[in-house]
Chains A and B, each alone.
Chain A
Amino acid sequence: MSESSSLAAASERERALEATAALWRRRGYQGLNVEAICERAGIDPESFEAMFASVEAAAAAVVEVPLVSVVEIVGQLYSPDRSEAESYALAIARILNFMAANPDFAYVAYIAGRQMAPPEVHRRYETGRRFLVVMLERLWGNSGLGEQSVHAGLGGLGGAEALVRREVAAGTLERLPALAPQCVFAAMVPFLGQREALRLARMVAVELPSWEAPPAGRTTTRRRAASQPRRRWGSGS
């Protein structure tokens, strides 16, 4: 295969994955079929069949897209200049930015892969999630804390995901980056304690241009009055 045709093939694959994610989000898994995917992606069925054995195989590949991105982000932010926990905290913020910029893949990552996928696709989703749990559990080994729940990592991740899923379900993904400090706190507190989890959350908050709470009535988040100065979460003031 020449270099130019290889690039074209990569582009077709990306378009097929994007189309599958978009249709999955809008129509549900039952609404996925080769014809609809090809039409949306602008590819012919022969090309689809050359890339994927079935719609289920395409769906499984879609589930892996955000997982691969998460692994890449974690790897990029690993640095000897900061602690492992600080690297993870920054990675959580970047992951939320990625999800906000990729709503269809975020829907697959947080809702469809969990609730609306056939068993094999769901299994891949859970395997990827297990990686994140193991990553968090590494923090406990270095923390010096005493006895720990065996499900602390799953619980920490689940707490953060509850916030994220609410926004993904409501289609308000632009709010995800602002949730980073709270997600960092949720993921870190079982392993590092409240004080250190709050410090890491503050560190991430500094990276945000501003912190705006979701609208009143939908959540328990506090909102500042228009007359009050803007305050970052966790400042304690």
Chain B
Amino acid sequence: MLKTERREKLLRAMLDELALAGYEAASVERAQAAAGVSGVEFADEFDGKDECLFAAYDHLTDQVVARASVSCSGEEPWPERIRSGLEGLLEELAAEPRLARALTRSFPGIKPAAYERYVDLLGRFVPFMREGREYSEVDEELPGEVELLAVGAAEAIIFIEVDAGRTERLPQMLPEILFSILVPFMGPDRAADEMRSAAASI
């Protein structure tokens, strides 16, 4: 069994392969070579390319969600914690464009089961949004899934930038993405206030 460090190196190399070469051309052998893992060691760990890719994606998403969870915890008001978590996520994606592409574009497109993993990933951000209901400016109940609407809004903007090869711009887009997350909970005027505040801090 591969030790944690080498296993993680292999998983990372496999996602790099996917982002660079695409699913069909992604080479297990190249990933093995990049990670310094033999064919026998790979075969002991995984049944093949798909199993390795799914394990790599699960590992990556666990890390992304765990880091977001840390960033979103704290004593600050909810909008500030969301801003902090979003800032960390955007910087992380911008620093690793290939992983950002694998996360949002390459892996979800390989087959329906992979896309379902992507849907699950978006759902894992929903708990961070729940407190936003307390910031509504209307007495009326907000939609039952307003949290997923907010996550989907951010995802749509991030996806477009990653897809266009502009991942490095994401940190500068913090204010606009923050607006889209907050607006279902707080309305456009207060979300715009938070957007301006975020813009002033960049």
A160 to B122, CA, bound (A): 13
User: Nearest chain-A residue to B195 (Cβ)?
Assistant: A149
Among A170, A194, A236, the residue within 8 A (CB) of B187 is A194
A43 within 8 Å of B (CB atoms): no
- Contact indicator A219/B136 (Cβ below 8 Å): no
- Contact indicator B188/A148 (Cβ below 8 Å): yes
The SS class assigned to the B binding surface is helix
Among A115, A170, A181, the residue within 8 A (CB) of B143 is A181
Note all chain B residues with C-beta closer than 8 A to A165. Answer: 119
8 Å CB contacts to A: which residues of B176-202? 176-177, 179-180, 183-184, 187-189, 191-192, 195-196
8 Å CB contacts to A: which residues of B141-167? 141-157, 159-160
Tell me how far the C-beta of B195 lies from the nearest C-beta in chain A, rounded to whole angstroms.
6
B97 within 8 Å of A (CB atoms): no
B36 within 8 Å of A (CB atoms): no
Interface residues on B, range: 35 or more
User: Nearest chain-A residue to B105 (Cβ)?
Assistant: A115
- Contact indicator B192/A189 (Cβ below 8 Å): no
A145 to B143, CA, bound (A): 22
**Interface segment, one of A64-72, A93-101, A151-159:** A151-159
- Contact indicator A221/B144 (Cβ below 8 Å): yes
- Contact indicator B149/A160 (Cβ below 8 Å): yes
User: Nearest chain-B residue to A183 (Cβ)?
Assistant: B149
Note all chain B residues with C-beta closer than 8 A to A169. Answer: 112, 115-116, 119
Q: A155-B180, A159-B184 are in contact. Are A194 and B137 (CB under 8 A)?
A: yes
Residues of B within 8 A of A (CB): 24, 105, 108-109, 111-112, 115-116, 119, 122-123, 126, 130, 136-157, 159-160, 173, 175-177, 179-180, 183-184, 187-189, 191-192, 195-196
